[in-house]
Structure 1
């Protein structure tokens, strides 16, 4: 049945858009001279844009469109300094010429108004948000999810034209840096006028002259009434005749030429986590641009919350979240600006779950159950300050400073089979990073970038465990508490000098990097003040690294280039267990074809050789959770793998059509593998350098808009094959093979009035083979969201989702009523969550030798009422 549905929508989209028409012509003045950069827009009977083009130096243009069910077309031609004109043409027209008359006017101010839903000018695509929304959207993220060319991932990160965005700008200013989720999940959707996708984005004005960036950014355009005045909103919400729920928030903004400011605050117990909105460390190595290197300390002990990634946070996470953030940019001088951000977040999470695990080892299976009661309090305070100085057109200087304090306190009471176990952990994490960049233009085609960076990250953990099983294993009294204190501190400092040059069709980069780091990874293991040295480690790690990065790109044309790079690394280890020196060579080659009428193509091959991290080098076992011990290795060779990749994409935003596909093959030549010994009560794992396996990943997605049906549909599939050697309760390594396949179909209607729907289905299949046994598992889910215009001021949303997991079915239905009185600053909202009151969810995972089944509590039914005041 699913295949029939798949084929039906696929052939329907092809048949409607089966005939392509090419329209050409010439735009001239009365003297017969061609007019360059004249704009030609092709509109349908609803005045929606079908295609557009600009004339070349001779005044020639070319358009292409699908005939489909178009009945009439309108061709508009305009150019600065000439009178605008248009023609009504037939759908089969192939040649249309225009003669423009000169228009002379004296203008004090020019205001350009664009009624197009989507407009493209060079590398910038502007999308008017009102054409894709229905006034039920509450936040910026709700709007972005509905715009063509933009994808919002499950974790809140954003892709535009298939690329993870580099920055999210507001009226051209970067205010949140990598923490843009603070804005997307909190900014009121009502303030937005348009979103711009900027391809080939470069923030550095000196590097921008070389025009070799592949980055993508989003720029938010606010409504005219939101500029030069204070604006924002206040939301108050509380549970009505149901379990106590609340939602309070405040947005405050000021957008002026000399200063831009946003204050965001939120307090709710609806499941979203505030600490997840602040980014962790950032690692960026840009061959032809600036780098950013932030390293982080390692946590030793883990207490699992047993969250479900399948659902939204509001369905399965019990969390009280608090957020307080202030971000601003200030023009100190014409060429000097300051960006600042301060965040304070807090989460209090409570999760209950029950899990059953079976390890199938032929005649000796192992089974156990876990009944868990989990509580975690997590806070995060963070500050960022960035200075940008542009003294002249040849120099650009930036300095970015970041500080974070992240304490967490976790408690977990559980029943392991019939044994009562208590575990608690107090973690204190302190971090600061500093990045200094100076970019100097040496001459017309040479730029020198000096990057100086340093950082310090410290993780202190105090863990307490009361477990009769551990005490029996360690031969101590059953009621004694086990204390494990661990400390991982990392300090590093480095400098990287990069020369970027252009010679004809060649782009060349040569860089030299020096880095020194000092890291400590230590733990103490005590019971009633008695030390157990066999479960302690004290590893000091001094590392000196010298890197030579060289890259060459040959540009056959503006659309085709070939890039080759070679990274040579020399790393010297000085540890408490010995000294080692390694030379590592990592080559990469790629062929890129982009911005053609057929889309963008890329083929690449790279070798990635690396060294293990400090926590993988410990010589003694350490306790990493209440029933697992882990020991590192004394490795002799680097970790090696190679990656071959092919990608293809095409994004025609105006037609709302896109294709994105990729194939990745990774061959792991050597890996840090684990040898595991599993008993009824404990797991023991140790690292070992072994040959690796293979991994294939294939993804494909196509988005198509059926103009006649006002329907946008998306078909996508993700498939993965991998094999890897593993050793469990044996000295022999056996090959584990896994295959997974996901197929999704979604459809959204865009009717101006009445009922609109957003629905689809997904099928997930997993299969594993290990030691002559095969396991399979599949799940299905289907969703249907209805948006109903009851009246001009009353809108209803009905959100329905059903999950079919093995023999269990789960259905969630949420009802939302939105009342937006005309000419009023107030709006009202009722949210009826989980109307069928599903209280538990059980999911099963089957892989290699493990059967894992977990049941978690779900957020019970509630009715939330909110009132929002906009000013």
Structure 2
């Protein structure tokens, strides 16, 4: 407690000593009209930039800057189409207005700049996509995968400069918010001219005045001629050889000053899933910016689809996908805007697989086989409305409302060894969230942000299980159907108010948060009319939270800062009518060094104390699949872990050179661990609070472009070591150790010739040691993608990949022919998929004491013909 008192005394003493200066004003033309997006820069006597800002739509700017050592500074004003001017002023708070004259002579400079493939201007990196593509790209996502500084993960998440993007903008407008994959996976690549990577992105104009944001956004710049007119395309595709396939899509867009609109629709059975595009589990807590908190109710019963993550979904997933989405953004007034998204995503998946599981438990291994016929019908429909109001330069108000419905029906017919079992799950999910933010500038160096949020997530599950093994265990008739009904509901409401204060070289945040949540996690378990209370739960959890977060960021310079955060939490925790009063302290320290000649460094340390979730506090066993029962535990003490991370990155986009590495260590001091009893037919597991283990993770990626060879190479490495206590069919916990190592190398050519390629290999090694039993597994693959320009109108692609797994080889080969007639709105595409007709695949995975081998069917050979009309 004494340390906390010392911390706060130091905190406020530094705050009172800090100082800053403000320069603000207006930039107008000779006709007294405000000039938007004019660059206003402050430069000291040595020629170093102190701070900068861009004028708003009325020509206003405001710059808060640290007290410079020099007595005078220079204000430099520049804007495209106007002459550059500068003025020397004293380093005190004042108002400075400027008049810019149009200057046609700068046209030559603009032409020179626009010819650059990559152009860096302060926090914005502009990349011309034509310089990095090969005209085979179909969607925005295909283009982004080839842009330096941008990485697209397997699930479609986009990272830029090593950070997951906050938004994907279109001509500066946010259209899809967190559901940006709806846009990136569907919008036609041909409409894109350039990509802008925006570092230090801040969407809130009030916070932007004081905040040094760490967010990153992408802005899509469309080709000329797409403004003020309707544009888009229609695609019709059908399979003509072997199993029938189809692909139909529609893109429709309108970009105007007052309204932007996109309508995207897609229907295909090529393996991609429409519902996977939708964002879930959004939980953002930003110290110096806005927060966003969305919580989900816990589901109970799970049915595995046995998909293979190693392959692309077009190779191994049998699914009919339908997507229909409409997004619009409009300005009702200059200071009032409205954004809306409506989407409907549906998947119809049929997946067959065969698996073998073996538990390596001393001298008595347990093994079984499962032949699974999986059928799933999933729908996600949502409406999202966001209002933004900017009445004056001191107030900014936003309100975001989201409503979702998510019905899901899954049927699984399987053979467990020789026993026939059926599982039928009907799941209905209803969700709504509301986020209200009001940001008020109290003074030149103080901002008050009030965030009010509430939501409700409800899940209703109906499960029918027909299993002779389960019926025999329950001592009921072999043909009786077991029915489990679950109703899981979460309601929460909260308010978080934070005061942000900026001084000369210190940023301070003090926040107070109140949150109330109420959860229910209930299920019944019935055979005919007879209930089984030992497998029923009626759990409830109420939490009343008061959180006090106090953070200080000391800016040694524009490139070096140190942040200290202390989060104090008082929680009234009522679980199953047992109440506890809990006080938690979570400190965080971080040192950030960025934009130096040697790159960016970040060192952080945090201690995290959390509480168990409601599904971990059940008092009885519950059926979670056809052969598994799980039970929670009573609350004892908070769960604790310590996290230390070291990050290093450097991005030289103009040279197409980058390094991104991270080293992290997690020490789990107190966790909820699983005690398991495994028999030939069933698994029983219950939670118990124990000491945790250690986890080390190292990742490294290196990209380098050799200008003379016109080749870009990329090396990636991810290694993970972890140890944790495990208890299986034993009276005490035994340590389990796991290690994985993934190495990937790829090379891409950028020849100014008819042929180019993208090639590489990967090596994956996993190892598990448990009870002196060591198991290992190795997989390798090689890929080669070649594109060849046959003529000005015909482009051919050949995609090949070979997988070396379990002493077996699997080869996938695709050929794609693109025909684009000159000056025609029509284009044609011929896709010959899986030429060698690989039909089955077997994969081995290891986890602690478990050996799991799965064999899945693969999408058979097909030929798809598609025609696209662009307008």
Match of 2:531 in 1: 531
Match of 2:193 in 1: 193
Secondary structure of 2:823 counterpart: coil
Match of 2:203 in 1: 203
Whole-angstrom distance in 1 between the partners of 2:354 and 2:776: 22
1:160 aligns with 2:160: yes
Match of 1:672 in 2: 672
C-alpha displacement of 1:255: 0.2
Structure 2 contact 81–103 (Cα < 8 Å) conserved: no
**RMSD of Structure 2 on Structure 1 (CA):** 1.8
Secondary structure of 2:534 counterpart: helix
Match of 1:72 in 2: none
Match of 1:806 in 2: 806
Structure 2 contact 82–103 (Cα < 8 Å) conserved: no
What pairs with 1:218-617 in structure 2 (closer than 5 Å)?
Answer: 218-617=218-617
Q: Specify every segment of 5 or more residues in structure 1 that has no aligned partner in the other structure, as ranges.
A: 1-53, 63-77, 84-102
Whole-angstrom distance in 2 between the partners of 1:848 and 1:403: 40
- Corresponding pairs, count: 784
Deviation per residue, 1:602-659 (Å, 9 max, x gap): 0010001100100000000000000000000002100000001100000000000000
What pairs with 1:732-747 in structure 2 (closer than 5 Å)?
Answer: 732-747=732-747
C-alpha displacement of 1:845: 1.5
Secondary structure of 1:471 counterpart: helix
Whole-angstrom distance in 2 between the partners of 1:575 and 1:644: 32
Q: Specify every segment of 5 or more residues in structure 2 that has no aligned partner in the other structure, as ranges.
A: 1-40, 50-78, 85-99
The structure-2 alpha-carbon separation of the partners of 1:808 and 1:565, relative to structure 1 and needing over 3 Å to count, comes to same
C-alpha displacement of 1:541: 1.5
C-alpha displacement of 1:244: 0.8
Whole-angstrom distance in 1 between the partners of 2:80 and 2:420: 78
C-alpha displacement of 1:59: 9.3
Deviation per residue, 1:224-264 (Å, 9 max, x gap): 11111000000000001221100000000000000000000
The structure-2 alpha-carbon separation of the partners of 1:104 and 1:423, relative to structure 1 and needing over 3 Å to count, comes to closer
Deviates more, 1:746-755 or 1:456-465: 746-755
Structure 1 contact 775–848 (Cα < 8 Å) conserved: no
C-alpha displacement of 1:82: 8.5
C-alpha displacement of 1:281: 2.9
Whole-angstrom distance in 2 between the partners of 1:217 and 1:627: 46
Whole-angstrom distance in 2 between the partners of 1:575 and 1:609: 18
The structure-2 alpha-carbon separation of the partners of 1:638 and 1:106, relative to structure 1 and needing over 3 Å to count, comes to closer
Whole-angstrom distance in 2 between the partners of 1:785 and 1:757: 5
The structure-2 alpha-carbon separation of the partners of 1:56 and 1:757, relative to structure 1 and needing over 3 Å to count, comes to farther
The structure-2 alpha-carbon separation of the partners of 1:82 and 1:303, relative to structure 1 and needing over 3 Å to count, comes to closer
C-alpha displacement of 1:58: 7.0
Secondary structure of 2:835 counterpart: coil
Whole-angstrom distance in 2 between the partners of 1:769 and 1:802: 29
Match of 2:776 in 1: 776
C-alpha displacement of 1:57: 6.4
Whole-angstrom distance in 1 between the partners of 2:47 and 2:525: 78
Whole-angstrom distance in 2 between the partners of 1:573 and 1:407: 32
C-alpha displacement of 1:518: 0.9
Structure 2 contact 575–617 (Cα < 8 Å) conserved: no
Structure 1 contact 546–569 (Cα < 8 Å) conserved: yes
Whole-angstrom distance in 2 between the partners of 1:282 and 1:118: 33
Match of 2:787 in 1: 787
Whole-angstrom distance in 2 between the partners of 1:832 and 1:702: 34
Deviation per residue, 1:547-597 (Å, 9 max, x gap): 001100000000000000000111112232411111111000010000111
Whole-angstrom distance in 2 between the partners of 1:104 and 1:574: 68
Structure 2 contact 81–102 (Cα < 8 Å) conserved: no
The structure-2 alpha-carbon separation of the partners of 1:245 and 1:504, relative to structure 1 and needing over 3 Å to count, comes to same
Secondary structure of 2:210 counterpart: coil
Whole-angstrom distance in 2 between the partners of 1:228 and 1:847: 56
Secondary structure of 1:453 counterpart: strand
Whole-angstrom distance in 1 between the partners of 2:517 and 2:127: 46
Match of 1:7 in 2: none
Q: Which of structure 1's runs of 4+ aligned residues deviate more than 6 A?
A: 54-62, 78-83, 108-111
Structure 1 contact 797–816 (Cα < 8 Å) conserved: yes
Secondary structure of 2:654 counterpart: helix
Structure 2 contact 362–771 (Cα < 8 Å) conserved: no
Whole-angstrom distance in 1 between the partners of 2:712 and 2:501: 44
Deviates more, 1:239-248 or 1:169-178: 239-248
C-alpha displacement of 1:124: 0.1
C-alpha displacement of 1:719: 0.5
C-alpha displacement of 1:60: 7.2
Secondary structure of 1:310 counterpart: coil
Match of 1:172 in 2: 172
1:767 aligns with 2:764: no
Whole-angstrom distance in 1 between the partners of 2:662 and 2:305: 34
Match of 1:852 in 2: 852
The structure-2 alpha-carbon separation of the partners of 1:229 and 1:469, relative to structure 1 and needing over 3 Å to count, comes to same
Whole-angstrom distance in 2 between the partners of 1:81 and 1:252: 35
Match of 1:647 in 2: 647
Whole-angstrom distance in 1 between the partners of 2:80 and 2:572: 63
C-alpha displacement of 1:716: 1.2
TM-score calculated relative to the size of structure 2: 0.88
C-alpha displacement of 1:543: 1.1
Match of 2:703 in 1: 703
Structure 1 contact 775–847 (Cα < 8 Å) conserved: no
Whole-angstrom distance in 1 between the partners of 2:269 and 2:142: 19
TM-score calculated relative to the size of structure 1: 0.88
Match of 1:866 in 2: 866
Deviation per residue, 1:54-73 (Å, 9 max, x gap): 997679799xxxxxxxxxxx
Whole-angstrom distance in 2 between the partners of 1:188 and 1:416: 46
Whole-angstrom distance in 2 between the partners of 1:223 and 1:388: 28
Deviation per residue, 1:461-518 (Å, 9 max, x gap): 0000000000000000000000000010011100010000012211000000001111
The structure-2 alpha-carbon separation of the partners of 1:79 and 1:57, relative to structure 1 and needing over 3 Å to count, comes to farther
Whole-angstrom distance in 2 between the partners of 1:538 and 1:829: 57
Whole-angstrom distance in 2 between the partners of 1:427 and 1:694: 37
The structure-2 alpha-carbon separation of the partners of 1:452 and 1:261, relative to structure 1 and needing over 3 Å to count, comes to same
Whole-angstrom distance in 1 between the partners of 2:543 and 2:153: 36
